[in-house]
Structure formats: C-alpha cells, structure tokens
C-alpha cells in the first residue's frame, strides 16, 4: 500500500507548558498542509522510523500485535526540526492504521509517554481528526464543536529543554501555591473550550495572553518573550508556545488586520488528514 497524504499542521493553543502537572492541553489544526508519502513493505513485525526511539517503542508495543509491516513515511521536516518530522510521520501512520484500531488504545498510549512525546503524540492525533481538541495524559482526546474566526500569526521553533527545571524550581520555592495554580491553569483550557464552542475570538485572545502572563510570573518565560509579543498592534491576544517538544510565538488577530509582510498568516481549520493519491 502506497499513498500520498495532505497533513494539516497542528499546534498547541493552551496548556502545553503544564503537561507535567497532568493538566489538559488544547490543540488545533491550521490551514497549512504538508504532504507525506507512506509506503508499506511486508514484515512479520511493526517497524517505524521515528527520531524519538521512546515514542516509537510505545507505539510499537501497543500496535505490534495487530499491525505488521515496515512503514516508511517520507515527509518534510518543518523548520528542520526532528519533533515536527515525527509529528508528520506519526499522523500519517495513524491515518493508515485507521480509527477502528486506533481509538481503543489512545488512552493507554497517552498515559505511557513522557510530557515531550505527549505533545507530539497529541498533535499527531489532532492532525488526524482536525479542528480543536483537548487532550490529557491517560484520558484520550475530546474533539470540540465550534471554532475561532481569527487569523493566526505563527512562528515555530524547537522546544525548551529548560522548562522542566524552571517548573521544578517554582514548585520548590512556592510549595503551597503550586496546586492552586495548576488548578487555575487547567481551568484556562476549560475556558478555551468555551471560547471555541461560542466562536468567541476575543475571549480566546484574552486566555492566550493570561496564560503567558502567568507563565512569566512562574519563571517559565522571560520578560523579553512578552515584550516581543506585545509589540504587535491590533491583536486579540498572544502567547509564547512553550514545551519541551515545540516552542514559538502565536498571535491571534482579526482577519481584517493589516498584515506585516514579514509574518506568516494562517487560519484555524476543521480539516484533518486527507488522501490525495497513490505513490
């Protein structure tokens, strides 16, 4: 079986910095589609080729008894980042496997990976189904009805490996504040779900900015991150995407906002992976 696929890029929207606290995370797909080619050669075992061997081992453990073959996925590496390459390969693999085999093992798969691979795994599942999705480790994913009618200005980069250390330092310094803050940050994701259901772009913008402001107060972000984001005039809100798997900048703006030539503008989309032909 050889197929060509169009895979929408998926991004963290809210909560990605706090996966370690078992908080929920919201993801969404954008109208930026990347093409992948999937070929399958006969094999008595399941063979993948992910950069993250730990993530590959978790997937093979769960699917090895029901899926066999050597899966070769050729996909561009977004910004030449290994995690983005794994995202595209894993999403393509899930499409070929099919939801019938995938759905029963999603909670187990999400429960056995670390926070970095959880982000990559959840983004792959979001690219598969499209739209806005809320995920939590060990619980699977919840697709949301609705959308956000606003433009997205996005610049992705590699993840921040200092994140876990900064969160641990905050936890030690403010032991009595940690649990209430985790709870509050988890509720930001719940409010984000309400914004999606109501199609309330201004509310989503406020939540993005509030999350980044709280992340700065906890030492997760630097003041320079906030200053750079706040310079964009006319935005509905902004945030610094911050996880061990992916980082970057996200600005939400009305679609009629004048577009600076140096920025890449996108829209949220409800579309998931689609097949576009055979190899």
Q: Say if residues 134 and 110 touch (Cβ distance below 8 Å).
A: no
Work out how many domains the chain is built from and give that number: 1
Residue 158 and residue 274: Cα distance in Å, rounded? Answer: 27
Supply the CATH number for residue 49's domain: 3.30.70.890
Over residues 159-166, the mean pLDDT reads: 85
Q: Say if residues 256 and 234 touch (Cβ distance below 8 Å).
A: no
pTM above 0.75, yes or no: yes
List pLDDT tens digits, range 190-236. 999 999 999 999 999 999 999 999 999 998 888 888 888 888 888 99
Averaged pLDDT score across all residues of the chain = 90
Structure tokens belonging to residue 134: 């809320």
Q: Domain range spanning residue 206? A: 2-278
Residue 107 and residue 139: Cα distance in Å, rounded? Answer: 5
Q: Catalogue the E-assigned strands of the chain.
A: 2-14, 25-41, 46-47, 69-74, 132-136, 140-144, 151-158, 237-242, 246-253, 265-269, 274-278
Residue 93 and residue 56: Cα distance in Å, rounded? Answer: 11
Higher pLDDT residue, 30 or 159?
A: 30
Over residues 51-70, the mean pLDDT reads: 88
């Amino acid at each position: 079986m050889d197929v060509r696929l169009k895979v929408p890029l998926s991004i963290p929207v809210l909560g990605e910095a706090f996966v370690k606290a078992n908080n929920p995370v919201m993801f969404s797909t954008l109208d930026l589609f990347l093409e992948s080619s999937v070929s399958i050669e006969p094999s008595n075992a399941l063979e993948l080729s992910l950069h993250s061997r730990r993530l590959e081992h978790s997937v093979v453990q769960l699917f090895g008894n029901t899926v066999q073959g050597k899966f070769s996925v050729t996909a561009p590496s977004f910004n030449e980042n290994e995690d983005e390459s794994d995202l595209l390969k894993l999403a393509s693999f899930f499409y070929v496997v099919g939801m019938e085999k995938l759905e029963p093992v999603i909670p187990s798969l999400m429960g056995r990976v670390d926070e970095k691979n959880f982000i990559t795994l959840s983004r792959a599942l979001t690219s598969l189904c499209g739209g806005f999705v809320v995920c939590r480790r060990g619980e699977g994913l919840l697709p949301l009805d609705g959308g956000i009618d606003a433009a997205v200005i996005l610049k992705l980069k590699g993840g921040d490996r200092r994140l876990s250390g900064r969160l641990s330092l905050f936890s030690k310094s403010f032991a009595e504040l940690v649990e209430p803050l985790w709870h509050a940050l988890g509720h930001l994701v719940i409010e984000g779900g309400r914004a999606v259901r109501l199609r309330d772009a201004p509310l989503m913008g406020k939540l993005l900015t509030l999350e980044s402001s709280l992340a700065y107060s906890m030492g997760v972000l630097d003041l320079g991150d906030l200053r750079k984001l706040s310079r964009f005039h006319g935005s509905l809100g902004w945030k610094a995407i911050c996880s061990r798997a992916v980082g970057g900048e996200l600005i939400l703006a009305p679609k009629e906002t004048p577009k600076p030539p140096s920025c890449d503008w996108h829209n949220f989309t409800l579309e998931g992976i689609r097949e576009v032909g055979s190899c």
